[in-house]
Amino acid sequence: MQIDVSTKNMAFLECFSSETRVKMIELLSEEPLNIKQLSQRLDISSAIVTKHVQKLEQAGILRAENVTGIRGTQKICYLQMDQAVLQFRAKKAHELPTTSIAIPVGQYAAYDVQPTCGLASASQLIGVLDDPRYFADPQHVQAGILWFGSGYVEYRIPNFLHSNQRLRSLEISFEICSEAPGFNENWPSDISFSLNDKPVGMWTCPGDFGKQRGVLTPEWWGAGNTQHGLLKIITVNSQGSFLDGTPLSSFTTEDLAMSFSQDIRFRIASPATADNPGGVTLFGKAFGNYAQDIVVTMYAEK
């Protein structure tokens, strides 16, 4: 998630002015905790913990749920946000997006995958688990989550720029993690990205996350399955390619060599020959922690 450093986002930025709130985030990054547990570990009263929780919840950093147990109802706190990128330089008028579209994760145009693999819509599995043939099932466009042990999926990004416009910057954001049988939070995967068959870069995902239930996870989805990923943002401009603002490669918009009305082919792959062949899981707006599909934003020169 990208956060502009401005007075509009003071509710978020103020969360980090308190050492106690930062310690709470550190604790919740390890496991969900109730108010009493946070109070004991921080050595402060439950009333003060509740106030800090409310502030973090309002900022979208954590979520709190009332859960009924043997000893009555307790409020369980979960870390909701995995990361945030601070944007210090305000976007100028000419930097506003020219076009932005959302591509469902199931709307891939090409694939070549190997088990463990599968797809599911918001309400049910699509086809049979670990059978790559079902990636060709017509219902694949309804998928809200998909996963594969090795291989790739490729999406066609429509180009709606006018003939007199030149691409200045391309941003692609998506929720992603590794793919382990069941889940394994220590399961690194070397995931590569390419545009129009040209390599953009590789990123090593640390694991397949399943300890904490995803914010958007449907009720029917089992607790022993992958629950959420990490929100990643690929940016390609005249300076190179970046992942969450960190340099990824020297690939630029010039290298993309996009012409008028030409689609962009975006491939996400987990090569079986990689040092860490840990697979890929992609989340749509009905799964994981982020209510979005693959969001593509283009900025054009004015």
Q: pLDDT digit string (tens) for 128-142?
A: 999 999 999 999 999
| Residue 145 within a domain | yes
Output the pLDDT for position 260. Answer: 77
Judgement on whether residues 75 and 96 belong to the same structural domain of the protein: no
Q: What pLDDT does 92 receive?
A: 55
User: Rounded CA gap, 172 and 155, in Å?
Assistant: 12
* CATH code (residue 52): 1.10.10.10
Residue 85 lies in a domain: no
Q: Of the candidates 151, 150, 146, which has an alpha carbon nearest to the alpha carbon of residue 281?
A: 146
Beta bridge partners of 111: 153
Q: Is there a single domain that holds both residue 31 and residue 104?
A: no
State the helix-helix crossing angle for 19-28 and 35-42, rounded to 10 degrees: 120
Measured CA to CA in angstroms, residue 283 lies from 20, 66, 111, 215, 296 at distances of 32, 26, 16, 12, 15
Is residue 93 predicted with pLDDT exceeding 70?
A: no
Average pLDDT, integer, range 17-32: 92
Q: Return mean pLDDT, the chain.
A: 91
User: How many domains, the chain?
Assistant: 2
- The pLDDT score that the predictor gives to residue 97 is 60
**CB 256, CB 170: distance < 8 Å:** yes
Q: Which pLDDT value is given to residue 259? A: 77
Q: Is the pLDDT of residue 145 over 90?
A: yes
> Residue 73: pLDDT band by 50, 70, 90 thresholds?
confident
Residue 10 has pLDDT above 80, yes or no: yes
Query: Which of 53-62, 77-86, 235-244 has the least mean pLDDT?
Result: 77-86
257 lies in a domain?
Answer: yes
Q: Are residues 99 and 245 in the same domain?
A: yes
Question: Residue 187: pLDDT above 90?
Answer: yes
**Alpha-carbon gap, residue 255 to 247, rounded angstroms:** 16
> Are residues 108 and 44 located together in one domain of the fold?
no
